Amino acid sequence: MLSVIRTLWDVFLHAFRKRVTIQYPEQKAYLSARYRGRIILSRDPEGGERCVACYLCAVACPVDCIALQATEDPTGRRYPEFFRINFSRCIFCGYCEEACPTYAIQLTPDLEMGEYNRQNMVYEKEHLLISGPGKYPDYNFWQVAGVKIGGKDKGEAEREAPPADLRNLLP
């Protein structure tokens, strides 16, 4: 019986402690910078789209929520013609971010994506593309890749030596 009285007293003292509830939406929970929330497509520091439509994210996705189609612009730069993520399927695992070679697709600490209509949960490229570089501010894939695109010839990428001239390698 005495343990019962002690329990009652202990629980009663809980009235004088702070409550642990976070009163959403007036207060919001703390989300760290690497929190896996809403997916975005970022741009490189010069303003061009980072995504090269390599399909690696679509292949890595465990629930197949990414759909895209590659195409090339007149300067030879690859980009996605359309890029669609179905957020009602997305499980926010981050595999697409890990698979992306250009740091294009990223997960941000934003989770307020509620909709009444399921069709509104399918985000197109214009909904996913942001104007900044996201979490990786200095990386420009096209500057380190060896591909020839408009404005950069073979041999002019960062840390790349110019191609050897075969006809001058005479003994």
Indicate which single residue of 14, 29, 126, 169 sits in contact with other proteins (rule: CB under 8 A).
14
Is residue 106 helix, strand or coil? strand
**Given the rule CB under 8 A, which of 13-21, 67-75, 98-106, 157-165 is the region that contacts other proteins?**
13-21
Q: Does 8 bind other proteins (CB under 8 A)?
A: yes
The answer to whether the beta carbons of residues 33 and 135 sit under 8 Å apart is yes
Q: Looking at residue 144, what DSSP letter applies?
A: H
Q: Does 11 bind other proteins (CB under 8 A)?
A: yes
**Of 18 and 167, CB closest to other proteins:** 18
Q: Does 120 bind other proteins (CB under 8 A)?
A: no
CA-nearest of 136, 137, 156 to 145 is: 156
Q: Looking at residue 130, what DSSP letter applies?
A: -
**Of 26 and 46, CB closest to other proteins:** 26
Give the E-state strand segments of 39-92 in sequence order: 39-41, 66-72, 78-86
Q: Does 165 bind other proteins (CB under 8 A)?
A: no
Total residues found in the chain within this entry? 171
Binding site for other proteins (CB under 8 A): 4, 7-8, 10-12, 14-15, 17-21, 23
